[in-house]
């Protein structure tokens, strides 16, 4: 799993770069005037759910492990995503044709939960896959018992 956590592009960790680009896109998308979003023909709650699932996933992946392990990192990611959700809803009140909504905030929270569960599930699968070769290599190097 460290291999994925340390993936780089031009010497920079990939996860924080993806997080930054994604977060800019989310901020831009949630602060477009409401009349421009009607052309998407997608339910607003679905957009919020998906946006925050991606945000939470990338936050969990981006946080350094020195925070104290996987669970504390996921809790920090959840707190950051939820605080951002509250701030995002509040600032939408300043955009024309947009209004803050508790329904949107609920969709943000459920998306956050889904994104973090997806991160933990994918992480568990990848750790299992990446650890398996090490265990099999140990079996090959040991002399057979007769």
Per-residue confidence (pLDDT) for residue 43, from 0 to 100: 82
Q: What is the C-alpha radius of gyration for the chain, rounded to an integer number of angstroms?
A: 20
Q: Which residues of the chain have pLDDT under 50?
A: 1
What is the distance of C-alpha 4 from the center of its chain?
14
Model pTM?
A: 0.77
The tokens describing 4, both together, are 């994925």
Cα–Cα dist 62/14, whole Å: 8
Per-residue confidence (pLDDT) for residue 97, from 0 to 100: 77
Cα–Cα dist 49/45, whole Å: 6
Distances (CA, A) of 18 to 13, 24, 61: 9, 10, 10
Per-residue confidence (pLDDT) for residue 2, from 0 to 100: 54
């Amino acid at each position: 799993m460290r291999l994925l956590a340390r993936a780089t592009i031009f010497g920079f960790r990939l996860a924080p770069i993806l997080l930054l680009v994604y977060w800019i896109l989310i901020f831009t998308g949630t602060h477009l005037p409401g009349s421009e979003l009607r052309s998407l023909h997608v339910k607003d709650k679905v957009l919020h759910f998906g946006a925050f699932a991606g945000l939470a996933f990338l936050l969990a992946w981006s946080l350094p492990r020195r925070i104290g392990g996987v669970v504390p990192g996921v809790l920090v990611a959840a707190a950051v995503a939820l605080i951002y959700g509250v701030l995002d809803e509040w600032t939408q009140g300043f955009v024309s044709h947009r209004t803050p909504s508790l329904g949107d905030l609920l969709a943000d929270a459920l998306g956050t939960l889904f994104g973090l569960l997806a991160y933990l599930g994918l992480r568990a699968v990848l750790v299992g896959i990446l650890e398996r070769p090490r265990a099999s290599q140990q079996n090959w190097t040991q002399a057979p018992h007769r």
